[in-house]
Amino acid sequence: MNLIFVGPPGAGKGTIAAKIAAELSIPHISTGDIFRQNIREQTELGKKVKQILDSGELVPDELTIDLVSDRLSHSDAQAGWILDGFPRTETQAEALDEFARVDEVVFFRIDDEEVVKRLGGRRVHPASGRTYHIEFDPPKEPGFDDETGEPLIRREDDEPDAIRHRLEVYRKETAPVVDYYQRDGRLVEVDAAQPIEGVFEDLRAIVEEVQNR
């Protein structure tokens, strides 16, 4: 099953994608996580994109499209995948349609006020991308990852100025992607403002519907 999660920053796409991907035993492919891993490992790609991610701008389409096209060709992605954070521009959506089949696109609907609360309290385990929230989804021990015990960090782009800019970029560049999929009936919407369990249950129902087609 090939699923896309689209929505504003902080809508909970990554949190839910990790859970659904584990249930379906398919990879959760987050372009943001791939870029951040490259930044941590100081690869050529990481050096190229660090400034872009920190500021909340988008990485150029061509580079991002090539990265995803390559990732989807890996053996673990042949039985399905969840794409989280891609496509983010109409150009990326059109390109994806050239090299992959998309079964369903899930739009995470949420307002800006809730996004700001979520991103302000988000903490991440850099090595795995595991995500917590100091209030809504806290780790067992504050400040430390549940599985490794390693320290959690705050993402550079979760600072107030970068959050505001990411929301602007979302409205300008990514909102048209929602329209793109709505036009041909591939879009389904979830109320992402619910608690995590509620969003997860809605996603399970969507997955079941796609499986029964």
Least gap, CB of 179 to ligand AP5 (angstroms): 17
Q: Which of 187, 199, 203, 207 binds ligand AP5 (CB under 6 A)?
A: 199
Peptide bond into 87 cis (omega under 30): yes
Report if residue 4 touches ligand AP5, rule: CB under 6 A. Answer: no
Q: Is 88 helix (H, G, I), strand (E, B) or coil?
A: coil
Asked if residue 168 lies in contact with residue 161, where contact means CB atoms within 8 angstroms, the answer is no
Residue 19 is among the residues annotated as catalytic for this protein:
no
Residue 155 is among the residues annotated as catalytic for this protein:
yes
Q: Which of 13, 28, 125, 130 binds ligand AP5 (CB under 6 A)?
A: 13
Report if residue 195 touches ligand AP5, rule: CB under 6 A. Answer: yes
| Cα(68)–Cα(73) distance, integer angstroms | 9
Least gap, CB of 161 to ligand AP5 (angstroms): 13
Asked if residue 127 lies in contact with residue 28, where contact means CB atoms within 8 angstroms, the answer is no
Least gap, CB of 39 to ligand AP5 (angstroms): 10
Residue 130 is among the residues annotated as catalytic for this protein:
no
| Listed ranges 21-29, 93-101, 130-138, 145-153: which one lies at the site for ligand AP5 (CB under 6 A) | 130-138
Report if residue 130 touches ligand AP5, rule: CB under 6 A. Answer: no
Report if residue 11 touches ligand AP5, rule: CB under 6 A. Answer: yes
φ, ψ for residue 188, nearest 5 deg: -130, 145
Q: Which helix (H) or strand (E) holds 187?
A: strand 187-191
Residue 109 is among the residues annotated as catalytic for this protein:
no
Burial of 190 (0-12, 13-18, 19+ CB in 10 A): buried
Asked if residue 85 lies in contact with residue 48, where contact means CB atoms within 8 angstroms, the answer is no
| Listed ranges 97-105, 139-147, 183-191, 193-201: which one lies at the site for ligand AP5 (CB under 6 A) | 193-201
Report if residue 38 touches ligand AP5, rule: CB under 6 A. Answer: no
Distances in Å between the Cα of 98 and the Cα atoms of 66, 93, 95 are: 12, 9, 5
Residue 123 is among the residues annotated as catalytic for this protein:
no
Nearest residue to 29 via CA among 80, 63, 102: 80
Active-site residue, selected from the candidate residues 36, 88, 118, 130: 88
Residues forming the site for ligand AP5 (CB under 6 A)? 9-15, 30-32, 35, 52-53, 56-59, 64, 85-86, 88, 92, 118, 121-122, 131-133, 136-137, 157, 166, 194-196, 199
* Catalytic residue IDs: 13, 88, 122, 155, 166
